[in-house]
Structure 1
Amino acid sequence: MTQPINLRQFRKKKAREDKAKQAETNRVQFGTPKAQRELEKAREAKLKAALEAHKREPDKRSDT
């Protein structure tokens, strides 16, 4: 005699597999390569550093 099948567990397992398949599709479609993400981070850091270097300091004298 065979073992009984728990349909609830079967449905959950199928749902997890479907979700994993959809996640893989999304990673391929929407994911950016690691090198490209790092390049963007480096560009942002360089731009931020350039802006910080050109900021003016407030006057230290008081007008009162």
Structure 2
Amino acid sequence: MSDIVNLKQFKKQKARKEREDIAQQNRVTFGRTLAQKQFDKAQTEKANRFLDQNKLEKNDQDDQTS
């Protein structure tokens, strides 16, 4: 004879397995490695520093001609 299977538990296990498969697929599709994240963060910070250092400030005294 075969074992008695609780269908409710079987459905839950099947749903968990499907969610885990989808999550794994999303990690492969959308995930980035730690090195990639750090590289992107460094590039962004470098660009922001460059923009801040080269920002032209408006000086009201130079604009007045009297």
Q: Same fold (TM over 0.5)?
A: yes
Q: Which residue of 1 aligns with 2:55?
A: 55
Q: Which residue of 1 aligns with 2:23?
A: 23
Cα shift at 1:29: 3.2
Unpaired runs of 5+ in structure 1?
Answer: none
CA distance in 2, matches of 1:55, 1:8: 64
User: What amino acid maps onto 1:32 in structure 2?
Assistant: R
Question: TM-score, normalised on structure 2?
Answer: 0.68
Q: CA RMSD in A?
A: 2.4
- The CA deviation string for residues 14-53 of structure 1, in whole angstroms up to 9 with x for no partner, is 1111111221122123322110111011011101110111
User: What amino acid maps onto 1:38 in structure 2?
Assistant: Q
Structure 1 residues 30, 4: closer, same or farther in 2, change over 3 A? closer
Structure 1 stretches of 4+ with a deviation exceeding 4 A read none
Question: TM-score, normalised on structure 1?
Answer: 0.70
1:32 aligns to what SS in structure 2? coil
Computing the radius of gyration from Cα coordinates, the structure with the larger value is 2
Q: Which residue of 2 aligns with 1:39?
A: 39
